[in-house]
Structure 1
Amino acid sequence: MNPEVIIVGGSYAGIAAGLILARARRAVTVIDAGLPRNRAASHSHGVLGLDGISGTELLKTARQQLLDYPSVRWIHAEAAHATASPDGVEVRTADGQVLAARKLLLASGISDQLPDLPGLAERWGSTVLHCPYCHGYEVGGGAIGVLGGHPMSAGKAPLFADWGNVTFFSQAGEISEEERVAMQQRGVQIEISPVIAVQGDQPTWLEVELADGRRIAQRALFVPATQAMATPLVQQLGCALVESPLGVLIEVDAMKQTSVPNVYAAGDATTVGNITLAAAEGVRAGIGVHHALVSEDSIG
């Protein structure tokens, strides 16, 4: 029996949407490849009532609670292709499964694109970080770096001073006089020699290697990763995209409907956020999908 709704992505947004739909007694199939965006982080912070929980543990509990509803099916697979029409949607997985439904929710998130500097990728989620609200407190103060090279980096650098003694590595980017004054007022040091690599084997510090040969020890380096869609389904379906400060997002309306009939989207692919915001987006999407189903049922 075909589900009424297929959800691609079984992380925070996808599970939250699935829970809403399951509680509305709708048949839901979740397709998930098991690669949540925050898999490199050992703990999740800023989650109300669950501060410091392991992301793996949080998702395991949420998934089990969702699967307690009899109308939910979970498929561990990669969604490889999707089509949509006014009559419904179809998703094919990489291992050859083909599923049809009335609605499709894309909750597959985004892929973080790091600057091409040696040493960044292997330290991602430990001493190379993205969100100060998620990780800044645990850094514990001291020397922290903010990597430039993004149009928003200089303007955001003063924000980080609440978490440590900040050095802004400008990467030859332009700094306006207003930005320079704001940094000065917050005690942010500006380093103009470009970062060429990141080194250091210990888990609580790293060394930023500069083009002039110097190495500067830091407790952490915050990096403005840009965003790309984590699944090719978005392009295959032809969903309209919008530009954000950190990359493209899927364009959705207030009910999380995309530009494509019967296709919805929620989570990091539609908003710059965190676990809490992704889950909230999933709830909105679940409600939006349910409203659409009920409307179609009434017409039919």
Structure 2
Amino acid sequence: MDDVIIIGGSFAGLAGALQLGRARRKVTVLDTGLPRNRFAGHSHGMLGHDHKPPLDILAEARRQLARYPTIKLVDARADSISGAIDDFSVSTSGGEGLRARRLILSYGIVDQMPDVPGFAEGWGTSIVPCPYCDGFEVAGQHWGLVWSGPQSHNQARLFHDWTDRLTLFADGHDIPSDIRADLASRNIPVVDGRIGAIVHPGGHSAIVTIEPGSDVAVDILFAHPRTKPSASLHDALGLATVNTPTGIALKVDERRETSLPGIYAAGDLANPGMPSVTTATWQGATAGIFAQQSMVA
């Protein structure tokens, strides 16, 4: 029996495994190899790894984990979970049955691309969600922001630290008059009408086509599509969740423990704030530390 099974081997999962391996706890990490930020050319804002491809960072992390004999990395999907604290069972896509005293869920989320031609093709290059991840490289240029709800108003104000040239695309949404007035006072134009397509001339730039046919060019486009967990194991377990502006996240306490004792969660799956590799890493490390401490007699 393992001490901990970690489901999801991206930044959060590997950070948790590192802490547990250094405590000489027996850990198995199950991973499908599909991290959310695999579409990004570079990852930014992570101390010591700024401006490196995210897949390169993960590959180096796996190489470093190889020095810990109690950590096992397995390329497999977890299909089901059963049991309770001190005796969890996990079935994998390869037909293997595993058991552990604790679980860490870090299988992340997936972005649900809207049915707009060109959106999915530009995701991670000319269409991005996070100014902290990509803003510096395009600072001072003409940004676009697709309205996705009241949180977009806060984002428009936040973007001023990077650029004073921002166009907001209503995309068919009814933006309240008081917000429109505030945007106008900040010299942020609002383009009404639904987005019909997005063309990518090259680099970070995008041309947004507004139905029935006008075009607006921007140097980069920020958008926040709906997200969903990349697996449904938490539903089968009945774990408590919280609503976020773009989807749901698992509810955890200050130790990263979920509503079911012995199960911890970290990374985008359990982050109702602004996801990033930095927050995923510290959350994973925190989950690993508290999972280890919970097993000390």
Q: TM-score range by the shorter chain?
A: over 0.9
Aligned position for 1:226: 226
1:165-206 deviations in Å (ceiling 9; x for gaps): 111011232333442343233321111122111113423322
Per-residue deviation, 1:28:
0.5
| Amino acid paired to 2:249 | L
Distance in 2 separating the partners of 1:84 and 1:289: 17
One-letter amino acid of the counterpart of residue 217, structure 2: A
Q: What does residue 154 of structure 1 align with?
A: 153
CA–CA distance in structure 2, aligned partners of residues 206 and 245 of structure 1: 25
Preserved contact between residue 104 and residue 266 of structure 2 (Cα < 8 Å): yes
Q: Per-residue displacement from partner, 1:82-116 (whole Å, max 9, x unpaired)?
A: 11324421111112111111111001111112332
Alignment-derived partner of residue 62 in structure 2:
63
Percent identity over the alignment? 39
Distance 1:151 1:181 in 2: 14
CA distance in 1, matches of 2:69, 2:13: 17
Structure 1 CA distance, aligned partners of 2:26 and 2:86? 17
Amino acid of the structure 2 residue aligned with 1:53: K
Is the contact made by 1:43 and 1:55 (CA closer than 8 Å) also made in structure 2?
A: yes
Per the alignment, residue 77 of structure 2 pairs with 78
Residue in 1 that maps onto 2:23: 24
Pair 1:130 & 2:132 matched: no
Deviates more, 1:109-118 or 1:95-104: 109-118
| Structure 1 CA distance for aligned equivalents of residues 185 and 174 of structure 2 | 19
Match of 1:4 in 2: 3
Q: Is the 8 A contact 1:155 1:179 kept in 2?
A: no
Deviation at 1:55, TM superposition (A): 0.7
Give the conservation status (yes or no) of the 8 Å contact 2:148–2:225. no
TM-score, normalised by the number of residues in structure 1: 0.93
Task: Give, as a single letter, the amino acid of the residue that structure 2 aligns with 1:202.
Answer: G
Amino acid at match of 2:22: R
The one-letter code sitting in structure 2 at the alignment partner of 1:278 is A
> What 5-or-longer segments of structure 1 have no aligned partner?
none
Q: 1:188 aligns to what?
A: 188
Partner of 1:288: 290
- Mapped to 2, the partners of 1:166 and 1:143 lie a distance apart of 6
Structure 2, gaps ≥5 residues long:
none
Partner of 2:211: 211
- The CA RMSD measured in Å over matched residues stands at 1.6
Q: Secondary structure at the match of 2:2?
A: coil
After superposition, residues 108-119 of structure 1 pair within 5 angstroms as: 108-119=107-118
